[in-house]
Chain A
């Protein structure tokens, strides 16, 4: 008798779940929206004319507790200008095998160049592919932006870029759809 009641109880739990809300997520068919300030993959933002906001100051690399960022600075010239002002990053790499997504780097960034997107699909099948280069990290060119190097279109000096700073936070939206972010595998095929 006791055995019978026990069995019923057990099936009771099973049946009751048929009418409860499901906790399983149907990833990757359906993607759950994340919190707006979720710490995902980084974006290197651009000024409205397409110039890079990054000045290659390495403060992000300095702040990084995991030693995941590598930057090399270089000199802007009038013929070859990537960012307003004197300095730009000639090399910018983030190693996602090391990154712990703490966000100290974006706090350190003096130009709001480095921000974080909500993208989290960062699994790769080799360590090499986990090192994202500047081309992969840069925000896509939106309308009105031009691919650097080019002259400063927003003013004569870099101050014109920064005085309007707070109203010009740049854009990280759409970064996930940037074709440059797709990673080509060894055969040259582009995978999403």
Chain B
């Protein structure tokens, strides 16, 4: 060890006759745990503040008149602690508490979802009395009460440990649930503005589904992190509607996995039974997601078993013009022939989307360069710019910031990033840093979001498109970033602002702050590192550097000059070229045209391109137009790894065994058909190839220097559009999860007070936002602090599909008017 351990004040105490050294301020229950003594507990959770609510952890401490709760008692020098193992007093006290807790507990274990993995069940057996002395009537409540469409509350089972309310308050900041009533009537509940309505009564009348449909709760438990309360509930009081009565712990097989949704890289546990995923839980990874995850990661997994899942290859029948099922050899043959023809006639472009594992992304990058002989490859299926391409080329291979750096940072600046919606675990870490370490968060955004409120952040009100100017000119931001350890987070949306990424890179260089790029999808960072960009080769190697090309050429066994040095086209240019016929073929992976800045143009390109190969999981807008469709495996059926926003490798194994193949394996077969050896047939082989590439010695590309543009002033009846995705929306990976969809934030159009007054629109009244393409009408939400002349819409929520309907993205000028008229 080269690092000198920090000197910590320690004390010596005795637990059950064992002398142990502990840091000052440590809790007795933790010290006991460390030496292998398990004290029963319900309310205690290592990541929550001590509460001492359940009293189950009573121990006998010498010199104390009564038994004390080990979960709130800090250690002291010379303390002598006796637990239930050596003290009759402690044992009797714990048995007494358990008896009290069980007085009102319904003992409906056979039908309770927690049965078999229930701390109350386990500890009643290990630390409780054998016989119950309570024969009177137990307290009865209607069960269960939905406190959101996803979370069900059974108050009879609750032991009032307050883990859920403490989590919501301390960790998530969503104080939607709390203790209500007093004394024996004390219970967990949601806030209801309608005091005349008891949710339980509605459940009694209309049943569970009816109560969910009636949406009678004014403030349901619609937290993005509500699933964690279900996981940490030590009894079955909080259960998830999706997993209700689906399985028992003993017949579930638990496999460690990694979340495939966003770039947070959460470690997870996937529980499956007979080849079907039953539920997913947050995994324990202190470096990344601690023990939490978001509801999307937990509950959005049924897309993989959707009705339109493709399991067999398809080719377009030349006679009927329809897709028909085909054998693998036939489909590969057809794809190979078509691609060969397209390659010689004009070239083939590759669009990979941001959902791939590193291994799959690498296979696409290699396939494009080696087999198709082109650099026309791009992973971005969203608004982008040449500046972003250059920026990503300059940051590839650089991993500067980690989750733990956030906690050490004095100041964090967010630009083009709404962490709670776009990277929820990053938001949780920001909130932890802000609450526990006093990290100050500054956001360059048009208005104060709920996420920013919850981290007690300050806003630099900025009209979309003016982020570059704000970065360059805001003294506040510069001062914040000048502190040692300060961090600058840029979201992928900053690409929509000309000069934004240049300004961020410049400011980081000038102030010494460390820069982190936070994309929205799990595969984005991996695709950058794997070289799925027109200017980038695997391992952060810039295409224009001869040394970098030399390294890759040698690794791939290519002749000098085989690797094209001409930078390729980006996603939008590829689609343009496909539309005009400059590109004769396309290979497309998980891309939804509706995510692109101009979905209509993208669909036209997919229609017009000469030859289209689609590697897809489900029948999509791309595969419906494809000439050959090759099925690939969903994340749950393959192994691989993602890179999270930190650049940390998040490997995972296949959870379910299936015949489905990874993209890399399909590409390997396709390459073989064309006479090339990719060597990407199995995940380990790809990892080996990537590992053998090693670090590059070639010079890195410099950050772009694009000047900021002036933002157009909106005229009367106009506004500048600001938009981003809400966490729970119409995303294809959330298909089929209705319970989850019910907890989404209601789509609203946000406008400032001044704008609202000028239009004569009050809060909640419909507001029209329109372009030449179409119109979105949503209830207006008037925001107190907001940059002037801005309207915000959710990008892809019910009733607000901005790119599809309006055909624009952030920074565009749109017309706004009071609802009803256009």
* Chain A interface (Cβ < 8 Å from any Cβ of B): 55-59, 61-62, 72-75, 77-79, 85-87, 110-111
Contacts and interface: CB of A to CB of B under 8 A. Distances in A.
B692 interface: no
Nearest to B245: A73
Contacts of B143: 86
Contacts of B144: 86
A77 B209 contact: yes
Contact of A87 (B111, B207, B208, B250): B111
B251 interface: yes
Nearest to A59: B110
B207 A55 contact: no
A78 B246 contact: no
B245 A62 contact: no
A85 B208 CA distance: 13
A58 B113 CA distance: 11
B207 A74 contact: no
A58 B251 contact: yes
Given A62-B116, A77-B207, A86-B143, A55 B248 contact: no
B245 A61 contact: no
Interface in B77-131: 110-111, 115-116
Given A75-B245, A77-B208, 18 more contacts: A56-B245, A57-B110, A57-B248, A58-B247, A58-B251, A62-B116, A62-B251, A72-B246, A72-B247, A73-B111, A73-B247, A74-B245, A75-B244, A77-B207, A78-B207, A79-B207, A86-B144, A110-B110
Interface of B: 110-111, 115-116, 143-144, 207-209, 244-248, 250-251
22 contacts: A56-B245, A57-B110, A57-B115, A58-B250, A58-B251, A61-B250, A61-B251, A62-B248, A62-B251, A72-B246, A72-B247, A73-B246, A73-B247, A74-B245, A75-B244, A77-B209, A79-B207, A85-B111, A86-B111, A86-B143, A87-B111, A87-B245
B111 A62 contact: no
A57 B251 CA distance: 12
Contacts of A85: 111
A155 B268 CA distance: 44
Nearest to B144: A86
Nearest to A78: B207
Nearest to A111: B110
A57 B207 CA distance: 21
A57 B209 CA distance: 22
A123 to B, nearest CB: 27
Contacts of B110: 55, 57, 59, 110-111
Nearest to B250: A62
Nearest to B248: A58
A85 B246 CA distance: 16
Query: Interface majority SS on B: helix, strand, loop or mixed?
Result: loop
A55 B111 contact: yes
Which of A56, A61, A73, A111 counts the most chain B CB atoms within 10 A?
Answer: A73
A105 B246 CA distance: 20
Contacts of A61: 248, 250-251
A70 to B, nearest CB: 8
A57 B223 CA distance: 30
Query: Interface majority SS on A: helix, strand, loop or mixed?
Result: loop
A150 to B, nearest CB: 15
Contacts of A78: 207
Nearest to B206: A78
A62 B116 CA distance: 10
A161 B752 CA distance: 59
Which of B110, B207, B246, B247 counts the most chain A CB atoms within 10 A?
Answer: B110
B347 to A, nearest CB: 53
Nearest to B209: A77
A57 B111 contact: yes
A110 B109 CA distance: 10
Contacts of A110: 110
Contacts of B115: 57
A36 to B, nearest CB: 27
A53 to B, nearest CB: 12
A57 B115 CA distance: 9
B240 to A, nearest CB: 13
B359 to A, nearest CB: 35
B383 to A, nearest CB: 43
Contacts of A74: 245
Nearest to B205: A78
Contacts of A79: 207
A55 to B, nearest CB: 5
The 10 closest A-B pairs by CB, nearest first: A57-B110, A73-B245, A87-B111, A110-B110, A58-B248, A78-B207, A87-B245, A62-B250, A55-B111, A57-B111
Nearest to A67: B251
A57 B109 CA distance: 9
Which of B116, B143, B247, B251 counts the most chain A CB atoms within 10 A?
Answer: B251
Nearest to A73: B245
Nearest to A159: B140
B525 to A, nearest CB: 39
Contacts of A73: 111, 245-247
B248 to A, nearest CB: 5
B493 to A, nearest CB: 41
A62 B117 CA distance: 13
A79 to B, nearest CB: 8
A18 to B, nearest CB: 59
Nearest to A109: B110
A180 to B, nearest CB: 25
A56 B110 CA distance: 8
A56 to B, nearest CB: 7
Nearest to A77: B207
A110 B110 CA distance: 7
Contacts of A62: 116, 248, 250-251
A19 B5 CA distance: 97
Contacts of B244: 75
B189 to A, nearest CB: 20
Contacts of B111: 55-57, 73, 85-87
B773 to A, nearest CB: 43
Nearest to B207: A78
Contacts of A57: 110-111, 115, 248
A62 B246 CA distance: 15
A126 B757 CA distance: 78
Contacts of B208: 75, 77
Which of B116, B248, B250 counts the most chain A CB atoms within 10 A?
Answer: B248
Contacts of A77: 207-209
Contacts of B246: 72-73
A61 B250 CA distance: 9
A85 B251 CA distance: 23
A56 B245 CA distance: 8
A72 B248 CA distance: 9
A189 B251 CA distance: 36
B464 to A, nearest CB: 46
B238 to A, nearest CB: 15
Contacts of B116: 62
A185 B116 CA distance: 39
A58 B273 CA distance: 14
A189 to B, nearest CB: 32
Contacts of B207: 77-79
Contacts of A111: 110
Contacts of A58: 247-248, 250-251
A62 B250 CA distance: 7
A78 B210 CA distance: 10
Contacts of B245: 56, 73-75, 86-87
A151 to B, nearest CB: 12
Contacts of A56: 111, 245
